[in-house]
Amino acid sequence: MMSEYQRTTRECSLESLSPVLGTAVRHYSHTHELGNLLETALFCGETTATKQKRGFFGRKTETTLTGFLLAPPWLIWAVSKNNEPPAVLAVRLRDIQVQDYEQSEMYKLVPDAGIDISGLRTDAEAVGTAFIGLGPEPAAQKFRELLHQAVKNA
């Protein structure tokens, strides 16, 4: 069984992130006073996920962009579906646990690839979970390794 999403992940700079995502991340960082992310950034990447949906009048493609920035002590990511304004989330690395989605119980029910993050977000009172989808590219593997290491070091 395969994921219903086709994902590709690339490494990039904050400047070369899709403009809608880069602007949202910079705005969020400034609003929440997260510091100069470019100075501490270990990794910046972007995943494009496409999903073919069967509608009443034929096929429709749904596209989701996820940009992520690993800049200790923060992990920040922005998600935009079908060019809608992005949602931005940030977590302190010391406040989260990270698991490869492929190792989770959910993988058996809903096959996919990426990272599960559980812990406290900057804008939430309660602990939550989030998923960052990743493609099979070397950039995705590099992000996984750096994120696991950064959480361990936090």
CB atoms within 10 A of CB 104: 16
- Which phi and psi (to 5°) does residue 28 adopt? -60, -45
Question: What pLDDT does residue 31 have?
Answer: 92
Average pLDDT, rounded, for the chain: 89
Summarize pLDDT for 32-48 with one digit per residue, the tens.
899 888 788 999 999 99
CA dihedral in degrees (34, 94, 12, 37; nearest 10)? 20
Alpha helices in the chain (DSSP H): 19-31, 37-40, 106-109, 138-153
How many percent of the chain have pLDDT more than 90? Answer: 66
Least confident of 3-7, 52-56, 103-107: 52-56
Beta strand pairing status for 43-55 and 6-11? antiparallel
- The pLDDT score that the predictor gives to residue 132 is 95
pTM over 0.85: yes
Mean pLDDT for 10-37 is 92
For residue 147, the model assigns a pLDDT of 97
Q: Which fold has domain 6-153?
A: PH-domain like (2.30.29)
Residues 29, 38 contacting (CB under 8 angstroms): no
Q: What is the pLDDT of residues 76-133, one digit of tens each?
A: 999 999 889 999 999 999 999 999 999 998 888 888 999 999 986 666 666 788 899 9
Q: What is the pLDDT of residue 1?
A: 54
- Domains of the chain: which residue ranges? 6-153
